[in-house]
Amino acid sequence: MEEEYSLVDTSKLLQAASDFSFDPGTRSEAAVKKFLDSFPLPVIISALQTKGDVPDLEDTLIDCLEKIFKTKYGASLIPHFMAFILVGLQAYSQRVRALSCKTISNLLEKLEDNTGLATSLVKENDVYPLLLNCLIDGDEQVAVAATEAIRNLASSQQGIEIIFPSTPNETIDIPKLAARCSSLGRVRVLALVVKLFSISSTTASLVYNSNLLGLLEEEVRNIKDTLISLSVLELFYELAEVQHGLEYILRTNILQLLISIIRNSSAESMLRSRAMMISGRLLFKDNILTFIDESGVKAVISAIDERLSLLDSQDVDEYECALEALGQIGSSSQGAALILSNASAAKHVVNAAFDLHGRGRQLAALHSLGNIVGEARPENNKLLNSDAEETLGRLIYETASNTPKLIPSGLVLAIFKLESEFRIAGYRLITGLSARPWLLVEICSRQEIINTITDSYTETTKIGMEARYKCCEATYKALSSSSKFLSDPALSGTAEKLLEAIKKGPYLAKGRKYEARPEVTTADRF
């Protein structure tokens, strides 16, 4: 039988496989069946194993097999060719190894059912250790394919039991595996830990209880290799994005480690910057104090504040990252109140927000201040406690008094005279600040500001139009909710103007004077 398969016309197979895999989309079940009627899987596999020196044969057959195994029919044939898959997982060719890993993924995705057939095949054939080897020793494509296959394996209870066996097994023990890897291999193992953690809260609990997050902590402690440290910090950033991740991450020592990096003047600037950004990402949720003590948040804010005090105008990137981190923490009312309880940290943000000389810093600070004053928070959650509100008002008025603008509305008007990206940040700022009566009166008393936010032609980008419209809505709601303001003839007129702008909607108003013009015109003929 093997001789029969080896006698196939290689040129015909190559042409047919090339035609079959040429279509960039997924092939239909019928197309796969028709192709395999002409060239059965044993023929393709035999040709792949004895490819010799035929140019492009390996790549073409691998592309062909990938498309076959992605279909339900093709996946149903995989159990009959497990021997080939096992050999492929240990092949010298990186493309064959990647194909084998992807084939295991297809097996688990398309054939797993209540009987657990696919996972049973993986277990019976001892596939998991081979996938781990591919993860560590393969090239980038192989490592990605192996990670995806292991993630699919962990999606079932039987698969989780293979990855986290009740009886210790040194071959597949993840901490021991990481210990004997190269630095690149360790990062890949840690990336796998993050993938497993993100599957479900049940798997996350297993990862945490197996102390696998401790592996990431150990790598963060070693800041001598900046690239490795940055890679691991990125993994923590991914963990922070996981819906069920925060409660587990904040049980570790990661915040203390991040604080130590932020305060470490001998560390690379990019490392400190990333540590600040991740700290902000970890502490941005509204219910953050249910996961961590208030003192922990204050310690992060204090560390960022200390770093800001040491930076000068040359440290642009790090300064901006510090401001953005404070803005992330200030997204929640709890975080905003804690930032304002640290007058020095809050002053850094407010001063930079209205400093026309540091453009990048100013933009970052404006967005951060917009977060702190509650631009993105619900209407009933914009205002903070009395101490925080008092600090906020005092800082803004003090900053204004130290500039030629003298009052807050002068600062806002100066922002609206800048480019669109600054105006957008200005809209966000007013959207949050308009909930404060002292600022609302300031804004509404300057017709130049009201004219800008009610002018349908001010912005030409979608994000700009939406930010301007949201600003109109917030200002109008704040104004119309107070009978005291509406009884003032000047302010009632402003309310009518805002309402009229709101009725037009966020996007380009009818009767726009300046229509869009093509950037490229047709050539003149004759």
Cα–Cα distance for residue pair 304/338, rounded to 1 Å: 13
DSSP string computed for 372-423: HTTTTS-GGGS---HHHHHHHHHHHHHHHHTSTT-SHHHHHHHHHTS-HHHH
Task: Report yes or no: 392 and 331 within 8 Å, Cβ to Cβ.
Answer: no
Residue 525 has pLDDT above 50, yes or no: no
Give 157-190 pLDDT, tens digit per residue.
Answer: 999 999 999 887 888 899 999 988 888 999 999 9
Q: Looking at residues 62-67, what average pLDDT do you find?
A: 92
Rg of the chain taking only CA atoms, in angstroms: 30
Q: Say what percent of the chain tops pLDDT 90.
A: 58
Q: Vertex 15, ends 51 and 138: CA angle to 5°?
A: 45
Query: What's the rounded Cα separation, in Å, for the pair 154 and 150?
Result: 6
Which one-letter amino acid corresponds to residue 493? G
The percentage of the chain sitting over the pLDDT mark of 70, rounded to a whole number, equals 92
Q: How far apart are CA 277 and CA 81, in angstroms?
A: 48
Q: Which residues contact 50 (CB under 8 A, 6 or more apart)?
A: 6
What's the CA gap between 321 and 277, in Å, rounded?
6
- The C-alpha angle with vertex 436 and arms to 476 and 464, in degrees rounded to 5, equals 50
User: pTM here?
Assistant: 0.85
490-507 pLDDT, tens digit per residue, is 677 888 889 999 998 888
> Is the confidence at residue 394, as pLDDT, over 60?
yes
Asked if pLDDT for residue 7 goes beyond 80, the answer is: no
Residue ranges of alpha helices (H) inside 165-245 are 174-179, 183-197, 201-209, 213-221, 226-241
**pLDDT tier at 405 (50, 70, 90 boundaries)?**
confident
**Could you tell me how many helices (H) and strands (E) the chain has, helices first?**
33, 0
Alpha carbons 231 and 235: distance in angstroms, whole number: 7
For the residues 316-326, what does the mean pLDDT come to? 94
